[in-house]
Amino acid sequence: MTDVCGIAGFAGTLDNTVLPLAAMAAVTTGAIIGATYAVSQALNNPKVAMWAKTEAVQVVVSLVSVLLLLAVMDVFCSLRMDGIASLFGISSGPLCVYDAAGTYLTDAAQYSLKAVKIVRYHLEAYNVLSALNGFECEFGGIGCLFGYSGTSISPLGGYGAHMAALDVFLNSSIMSAISALNFLFILIFVYKGFVLLFLPLGIFLRSMPYLRSFGALLMAVSVAFLVVYPFLLSMLYLMEPALVYPPAFEPPGLNPAFFDESIFEEHGGTHFSAEAATAGPDAVAEDFFPDEPHTGNPIGAMRFAASAFIAAVFLPTAVLIATVASIAYVTRFYGEEIDLSRIMQMV
């Protein structure tokens, strides 16, 4: 995952598009405010003059906010997660904040895909094992000498009890992988610099009549998704060893080497039926699950899917909610009117 500081085109978008547009918006807004102030002086209208002075202060606040945002982004590019981790006595990679945020979502998606594989393997294996059947002759086999006198049985049919639960967890792990990729898409959208285009519009609209709230919203979106969203995700990156178990992305107690789905492609249902008839159904179970007691680890697979849901859905969703909530607070800050008369009285 390439960080925002070195991503192709980001610096060009910032230097060649965003900053010139922000300057043009500030100059245009300043010209409008200056013309309004001149008109207020000609008409001797103190209310219009006060409005012009107030909006001039708002333009300065907007420009200072843009400079502070760029300064924070610069700090995020130079800050390293291993230095932060050392403060808490843990280890981490030497990544910047922006890179750590993207790395966490990438790892969460990979972890969820492994959970999909483990759960799906158990579901496929139990489907085959529960479908194995046989015919048990009565009287120790004598009943079959004079016709089919016996009982049709499914010796491993009890595995079917796990299938309904595993099906739910399979859907959950698939949703986890999709959600992690969705959050990653939002982050990449932010990293490409498109959110920065809201800044020039916010500078201009904040000083226009009846549009202050909308302009404040645009600036708040930029601040929230360039500061709050990646910062909170980078904090989750510090928790990766307990969430997604890098670099193998395998929770303890499961050996993915045994869960090779090629066994279903190499051997069809006829092969397994013949093996069950000759060597017994337990031999087929041993093919799927080499470890004793050859029953698999359905609880471990479900736990795997549940932890993937926490890492890829619950925590990133909480981060997104916190980001949206911060937009409301920042919008309220940028959208408030400045009572310049009171400030002048204090001075």
Domain membership flag for residue 1? no
**Amino acid 278: pLDDT:** 59
Domain membership flag for residue 172? yes
CB 206 within 8 A of CB 73: no
Residue range 326-338: average pLDDT? 74
Domain membership flag for residue 58? yes
Question: Residue 239: what residue type?
Answer: M
Please tell me the distance from the alpha carbon of residue 59 to that of residue 68, in angstroms, as a whole number.
14
Q: What is the DSSP string of 56-83?
A: HHHHHHHHHHHHHHHHHHHHHHH-BHHH
Domain extent at residue 331:
10-346
**Amino acid 2: pLDDT:** 40
**Amino acid 345: pLDDT:** 42
**Among the ranges given (52-66, 148-162, 214-228, 230-244), the one the predictor scored with the smallest mean pLDDT:** 148-162
Residue 40 in tokens: 């207020």
pLDDT in tens, 133-144: 666 666 655 656
**Among the ranges given (102-106, 285-289, 315-319), the one the predictor scored with the smallest mean pLDDT:** 285-289
Domain count of the chain?
Answer: 1
Domain membership flag for residue 2? no
CB 250 within 8 A of CB 112: no
**Among the ranges given (3-17, 117-131, 189-203), the one the predictor scored with the smallest mean pLDDT:** 3-17
Please tell me the distance from the alpha carbon of residue 273 to that of residue 287, in angstroms, as a whole number.
13
